Structure 1
Amino acid sequence: MNASANGRDPRENPWGEGHEIAPRRVSFDWRETPLHWIPDEPTATHVINVLHLLLPAGERWFVKVFKEALPLVDDPVLLKDVKGFMGQEATHSVQHAYVLNHLAEQRLDTGPYTRHVDYLFEILLGERPPFGVPWPQREWLRFRLAIVAAIEQFTAVLGDWVLSADALDRAGADEVMLDLLRWHGAEEVEHRSVAFDMYQHCGGPDPVRYARRLETMAVTAPVMLWLWGWGAAYLIRHDPQLAGRPRYSLREHNRAVAKGLLPTWRELGSAVPRYFRRSYHPSQEGSLRRAVDYLATSPAARAAAGAVGRAALG
C-alpha cells in the first residue's frame, strides 16, 4: 500500500508524525485514593472507572493482535511505531489492572463483570474465529485490526478530553487517579494514528479495506456504548458505599456531563462520522502538543524518566 491511501503526501513520513512513541514504565500509589475519587460524584467516578474494567483485557488483546500482524509490516517506520504502541498498551493494561486490585481492597469486586470482558477478547475475538466460523485466517486478522483502529478512535477522543477536563480539578478529584488518566490519555493522543495506519497497511486493497473500516466501526460503537452502560450500572449496583442508591441513572450522568466531569454525548458521537470519511486520518484528532506537554509534567511519567536516567548512570 502506498502512502497516498492515507490522504498524505507520499514525500512525507507516511506513518508517523515525527514523534517517537515509546512506553513509560510508570507506577502509581493507590493507598490514599478513595473509592469515590471525585468527591460526592459517584456516578461520574464509576462511569470513568469503567475504563479500568475494559482496558486490562482490551489492551492485552491489542498487543496480541498486533503481534500476529507484525510479519505483514514491511515499512520500518511503521514497524517502529507499532512496537512503541505495543509497549505503551501493555503498560496501560498493567496499570489499570492495579486499579481493579485497589477497588477489590475497598470491597468492590469487579470479577463477575471482567470475566465477560475476558471472554469477549480472548474467545470471541481470539486468534481463531469463534464457533468454528469458516473465516480465512488473514481476513479474520484484518477484521480484528480494523476493530482495534475503531476502538482507538474513541480512546484518542477520550484522551484529549481528559487532558483538558479542568472541571475534574475543580471538583477535587484524586490527584493520583487524575495522573493515571491523563498520562494514559496523553499516550493515546501520542499514538492516535498507529492502529489506523497499521490497518491501512495490512488491511488489503480498497474498496474492501474501506468498507471493512465502516463495518467494524458500525459494530464497535454500539458495543462499546453497551459495555460502558453495563459497566457503570455494575459498579454503582455493587458499590458498598451506595446502599439505597443502587442504580445507574442517566439523569445523574447528564448532570455530571453538564458539570464537565464527563465528556458530552456530542463529543463522543461525532467521532463516528469523522471516522467514516474516506479522507479521514487520526492525526486530525486532539492536540499532540497538549499531550506532550502533559507527559513532560506528569508526576508518574517524570518519575519513570528519572528512574531510567538513574539506571543508565548506574
Structure 2
Amino acid sequence: MSQIDPGEPDRVALQARDVAFDWAQLPMHWIPGEPFATHMINFLHLVLPEGERWFVEVFKQAMPLIEDDRLLEDVRGFVGQEAMHAESHQGVLDHFDAHGLDTRPYVAQVGWMFRKILGDRPHTGKRAESWLVQRLAMIAAIEHYTAFLGQWVLDAEALDAAGADPTMLDLLRWHGAEEVEHRSVAYDLYMHVDGGYLQRCRAMAIAITVLAILWARGVRFLMAHDPVLRGRSKPRFRDMLRTGRLGLTPSYWQMLRAIPPYFRRSYHPSQHGSTSQAVAYLAKSPAAQAAEH
C-alpha cells in the first residue's frame, strides 16, 4: 500500500453519491482477451453486495455506543456510501444473471455466511456487546484490505491500456475512491468502542484467511459458469502471477505486502493511500458527476 504525503488531508466530509451505471453494453470479458483477470476482479461483485449490507447493519447497531460527534458523522457517511456500493455491485450481478452467468448459487453461500455465521445472535447485555465489538473488529480488518484494493484500482493504468470496459472501470474506481476516502472510519469506530490490540490482530487473521478462500472459490465458480468459456478454462496460480505482472490484477506479492502493516501497534489507516487522489477521481468520475447533477 502506498504511503501518503504528510501534507494530504486526512479527513473529508463523507457523502453517499446516488450513482447509476448502464450495463447494457458490458461484454462478458470486460478486459478484452483476459477472462482470468476479468473474473479475478468480478469476484468482488459476488461478495460486496451481501458484505456491505452486513457492514451497514452492524454499524447501525454500534451507533448508540458512539460518544464522539465527529466520529458519528463519519459513521453515518460511511453507512450511506456502503449502502450505495452494495446496490451498485448488485446491478452487475443482475446483468450477469440475465446474460447466462448465474451467480445466485455462490451469492447464496456468501449471504448465508454474513447472515448466519456473522449475523445477530440471541445474546443480551455484555455478551451482545462483545459480539458487536468482534464484528466491528472484523469490519475494520476488511476495510484495511478494501482500502488497499481501492488504491490499487486508482493506480491501475494497465487496465486502461488493455481496453477495459470504461463503465466497469468507473464503477471500480468510484467505489475504490470512496474506500480510500473513508478508510479510517471502521478502524476509528473499533478503537472508540474497544480498541483491543489482540482482538484486532485476530480479526485480521480470520478475515484474510476467509477472504483468500472465498476469492479462490469465487474465481473457480465464475470461470466454470462463464457462458463463453463453457468450462474449457480453469484458473491457475500462474494466471495470477501473469496478470499481476501485467498490472491487470493486484499481484500476489502486493496482496501479501498489504497485510503486515495492520499488525503494527502504531498502525492507522491514514498512513496508507491517497485521499487527494481519491477526491480527484471523484471529481471526474462520470457516474459521480452525473449523480451531482
TM bucket normalised to smaller: over 0.9
Contact 2:134/2:203, CA 8 A, preserved across alignment: yes
Show the counterpart of 1:7: none
Q: Name which of 244, 248, 256 aligns with 2:235.
A: 248
Show the counterpart of 1:152: 143
Contact 1:237/1:248, CA 8 A, preserved across alignment: no
> Alpha-carbon deviation of 1:166?
0.4
Contact 1:33/1:174, CA 8 A, preserved across alignment: yes
Q: Name which of 17, 20, 23 aligns with 2:10.
A: 17
Distance 2:83 2:224 in 1: 30
Q: Name which of 276, 283, 287 aligns with 2:274.
A: 287
Show the counterpart of 1:73: 66
Contact 1:157/1:286, CA 8 A, preserved across alignment: yes
Distance 1:54 1:250 in 2: 21
Residue 304 of structure 1: SS of its match in structure 2?
A: helix
Stretches of structure 1 lacking an aligned partner (at least 5 in a row): 1-15, 307-314
Larger radius of gyration: 1
Residue 178 of structure 1: SS of its match in structure 2?
A: helix
Q: Name which of 187, 191, 194 aligns with 2:178.
A: 187
Larger mean Cα displacement after TM superposition, 244-253 or 260-269? 244-253
Go from structure 1 to structure 2 and tell me whether the alpha carbon gap of 1:191 and 1:244 turns closer, same or farther (over 3 Å shift).
Answer: closer
Show the counterpart of 1:301: 288
Show the counterpart of 2:106: 113
Residue 119 of structure 2: SS of its match in structure 1?
A: coil
Show the counterpart of 1:227: 214
Whichever residue aligns with residue 196 of structure 1, its letter is: Y
Go from structure 1 to structure 2 and tell me whether the alpha carbon gap of 1:243 and 1:78 turns closer, same or farther (over 3 Å shift).
Answer: same
Identity of aligned residues (%): 54
Q: Name which of 155, 165, 169 aligns with 2:156.
A: 165
Q: Does 1:26 align with 2:19?
A: yes
Distance 1:79 1:135 in 2: 22
Q: Name which of 79, 86, 107 aligns with 1:86.
A: 79
Distance 1:265 1:21 in 2: 31
Contact 1:150/1:220, CA 8 A, preserved across alignment: yes
Distance 2:12 2:113 in 1: 33
Residue 297 of structure 1: SS of its match in structure 2?
A: coil
1:40-59 paired onto structure 2 within 5 Å: 40-59=33-52
Contact 2:36/2:239, CA 8 A, preserved across alignment: yes
Show the counterpart of 1:6: none
TM-score (normalizing by structure 2) = 0.94
Contact 1:238/1:246, CA 8 A, preserved across alignment: no
Show the counterpart of 1:198: 189
Q: Name which of 75, 91, 109 aligns with 1:98.
A: 91
Distance 1:224 1:30 in 2: 27
Whichever residue aligns with residue 63 of structure 1, its letter is: V
Distance 1:50 1:294 in 2: 23
Distance 1:224 1:19 in 2: 29
Residue 283 of structure 2: SS of its match in structure 1?
A: helix
Distance 1:288 1:18 in 2: 8
Whichever residue aligns with residue 297 of structure 1, its letter is: K
Distance 1:238 1:89 in 2: 28
Q: Which runs of 4+ in 1 moved over 4 A?
A: none
Ranked by relative contact order (alpha carbons within 8 Å, sequence separation 6 or more), the top structure is: 2
Contact 1:196/1:282, CA 8 A, preserved across alignment: yes
> Alpha-carbon deviation of 1:31?
0.3
Contact 2:16/2:80, CA 8 A, preserved across alignment: yes
